[in-house]
Structure 1
Amino acid sequence: MAMPETTNTEQEVLIVTGMSGAGRSTVGNALEDLGWYVVDNLPPQMLRPLVELAEKAGTNLPKIAAVVDVRGRNFFADLQEIIQSIRSGTKLRILFLDATDESLVRRFESVRRPHPLQGDGTIIDGIVAERSRMREMRENSDMVIDTSDLNIHQLATNITETFAQEDTAGVRLTLMSFGFKYGTPTDVDLIADGRFLPNPFWMPELRAFTGLDKEVSEYVLSQPGASEFVQAYAVALSPVMAGYQRENKRHATIAIGCTGGKHRSVALAQALAIELAKLPGVVVRIKHRDLGRE
């Protein structure tokens, strides 16, 4: 018996944008390796025809990644209008790639190319102009990845880990520990502060260990309020994770900080990961941003 012909009722579209020099081409290549149909340097006005073409192709083009940049003068206004017009019947997400000004300047200088918006000015002039123009887009993005400390191979691995098995979970959640003294992370959805607990750094017998070691983990989690925090925060995040799934937000990052990112935040992140992994549709991975710093 012939099976009835089926059509793909919901196209999946990922808009890859962000700061020039932050790694858009690297991300596009990584997505292509994962089977996405990638269109680079797509003018925002061409996004709607591309989606319409993909819908006609059905299952032959189930996932499209459009890499767009800021060079169009009415970039944000045009793109926002187009996004609103195609959201119905389309899984559409925006991935924004960011990096610090210092990192971007260094990358442009290394390849000896001008910034596309610098005109007769300097590279930093172009970066400042672009950051101003992209501010609203960054705020409206579904995912933000800070590539300041990533080389092209690390960025490609990040993308592969993020998108390779995303269909197996409603939300792929990253729990990140960090040290406040190294700066708060910019590419996270929520930040919690673990500095309400005593710091093992001031205990000579624990200083050389980390939150991954049993000695530190047991010390941190045995402090008044530690276990209560982990349990209560997991309960508070339960409706958040469910809401992310209803809103098709497939990726989220929650950061927990302490002073140096070595003891308290690491132990708390490890403990919280166990609790959040119990939530339906949530797959958890852990990242310790500052664990290797002195």
Structure 2
Amino acid sequence: MSDSNELSATGSFPAVIPTMDEQAVLPHADPPEILIITGMSGAGRSRAAATLEDLNWYVVDNLPAGLLRPLTGMVSAEGGVSRLAVVVDVRSKDFSDLISTLDSLRESGAILYRVLFLECNDDELVKRYESVRRPHPLQGDGRLLDGINAERELLRAVKERADVIIDTSNYSVHDLAREIHTQIAGEAQTDVRVTVMSFGFKYGLPMDADNVVDVRFLPNPYWVTELRHLTGHDQAVAAYVLSQPGAEDFVHNYSNLIGGILEGYAHELKPFVTIAVGCTGGKHRSVAIAEAISASLRARGLAVRTLHRDLGRE
């Protein structure tokens, strides 16, 4: 179960965690580490968990406190899981056992762990709960503030033992993610992985494109008899396209331009970017230019893959 009371871009956090295929693969921490995420309901626990999962932490949400010790058995510096984040909160009926469990883990000294506590003021919590129209987990038949006050009291001892406290009252969803990167994961920014995709305009724009490049300003090799049956993968076509006036300048200038944009995406924690390069049929010009842009971006040290959506459709 995820914490649904999270801030959106205008005030509530979405409880969306990327799939494993979308996760950025980053180096593991050494020694192995456990992070216990707790705090006020609606303060951003799910967003914090999603951010850590993007950084290749193994994340478990809504874990009963009694299962925390058995779960530590899967943590290992050599293989298995080396960075484990566990969300433990008042949704668990045995939450009161968390303090004794943490004391037991610390006394054993076998596992390094930290406690991240997410705080938020009452006014903002009320706004967030009203925006999603859901009751507080401790509200019962009382008012929303009754539930919030009961939770604060229940969390008081845990907050006193927290290693990191983040007040999300004035944070956007992106602010919290950046704070998690710097304070918890030690990452200044996320790596951006780029997909450069060629396509044909006559088959429609790619739905997932972040940037679209139109290379129909270049002469079409389709009208050259000896090139018509070839594709942008063939050296003859690539040489023809890139030898046209302005073609190489375009690749160079666009690569410089998109390089700055990618830095901005990295700062905003957007890890996946798709650049769509289109010509009429997606066979000649777009393929050649997409390959050239990919090569230029790789030369800048970026992780780039190249796809050709419509190649072979004619």
TM-score (norm 2): 0.48
Note the alpha carbon deviations across 1:234-287, whole angstroms, 9 max, x for none: xxxxxxxxxxxxxxxxxxxxxxxxxxxxxxxxxxxxxxxxxxxxxxxxxxxxxx
Rate the CA distance shift 1:118–1:52 in 2: closer, same or farther, 3 A: same
Note the alpha carbon deviations across 1:72-127, whole angstroms, 9 max, x for none: 45523x11221122221211110000000011010000001100000001111100
Aligned to 1:158: 179
Q: Is the 8 A contact 1:11 1:89 kept in 2?
A: no
Aligned to 1:83: 102
Residue 145 of structure 1: how far off its partner (Å): 0.3
Residue 166 of structure 1: how far off its partner (Å): 6.6
Aligned to 1:280: none
Q: Is the 8 A contact 1:13 1:92 kept in 2?
A: yes
The one-letter code of the counterpart of 2:79 is: T
- SS of the aligned residue for 1:97 comes to strand
Unaligned runs of 5+ in 2: 1-28, 189-314
Q: Aligned partners of 2:92, 2:81: CA distance in 1, in Å?
A: 27
Aligned to 1:63: 83
Residue 163 of structure 1: how far off its partner (Å): 3.1
Q: Aligned partners of 1:141, 1:60: CA distance in 2, in Å?
A: 27
Q: Aligned partners of 1:118, 1:48: CA distance in 2, in Å?
A: 29
The one-letter code of the counterpart of 1:96 is: F
- Report 1:234-245 matches (<5 A): none
Does 2:130 align with 1:130? no
Tell me which of 47, 50, 54 is aligned to 1:33.
54
Q: Aligned partners of 2:92, 2:48: CA distance in 1, in Å?
A: 21
Residue 154 of structure 1: how far off its partner (Å): 1.1
The one-letter code of the counterpart of 1:101 is: D
RMSD: 2.1
Q: Is the 8 A contact 2:66 2:94 kept in 1?
A: no
Aligned to 1:45: 66
TM-score (norm 1): 0.51
Aligned to 1:141: 162
- Equivalent pairs counted in the alignment come to 158
- SS of the aligned residue for 1:60 comes to coil
Q: Aligned partners of 1:48, 1:9: CA distance in 2, in Å?
A: 20
The one-letter code of the counterpart of 1:46 is: L
Note the alpha carbon deviations across 1:188-233, whole angstroms, 9 max, x for none: xxxxxxxxxxxxxxxxxxxxxxxxxxxxxxxxxxxxxxxxxxxxxx
Residue 153 of structure 1: how far off its partner (Å): 1.4
- SS of the aligned residue for 1:15 comes to strand
Rate the CA distance shift 1:160–1:166 in 2: closer, same or farther, 3 A: closer
Tell me which of 41, 44, 49 is aligned to 1:20.
41
- SS of the aligned residue for 1:30 comes to helix
Q: Aligned partners of 2:54, 2:88: CA distance in 1, in Å?
A: 19
Rate the CA distance shift 1:49–1:21 in 2: closer, same or farther, 3 A: same
- Report 1:1-294 matches (<5 A): 10-55=31-76, 58-76=78-96, 78-87=97-106, 88-165=109-186
Note the alpha carbon deviations across 1:147-196, whole angstroms, 9 max, x for none: 000011111111112234379xxxxxxxxxxxxxxxxxxxxxxxxxxxxx
Q: Is the 8 A contact 1:18 1:96 kept in 2?
A: yes
Q: Aligned partners of 1:139, 1:119: CA distance in 2, in Å?
A: 26
Residue 60 of structure 1: how far off its partner (Å): 2.5
Percent identical residues = 51
Q: Is the 8 A contact 1:11 1:63 kept in 2?
A: yes
Rate the CA distance shift 1:59–1:95 in 2: closer, same or farther, 3 A: same
Q: Is the 8 A contact 1:117 1:126 kept in 2?
A: yes
Unaligned runs of 5+ in 1: 1-7, 168-294
Q: Is the 8 A contact 2:65 2:94 kept in 1?
A: no
Q: Is the 8 A contact 1:96 1:144 kept in 2?
A: yes
The one-letter code of the counterpart of 2:145 is: I
The one-letter code of the counterpart of 2:100 is: E
Q: Is the 8 A contact 1:96 1:141 kept in 2?
A: yes
Q: Aligned partners of 1:40, 1:131: CA distance in 2, in Å?
A: 20
Q: Is the 8 A contact 1:14 1:65 kept in 2?
A: yes
Residue 53 of structure 1: how far off its partner (Å): 2.3
Residue 43 of structure 1: how far off its partner (Å): 0.8
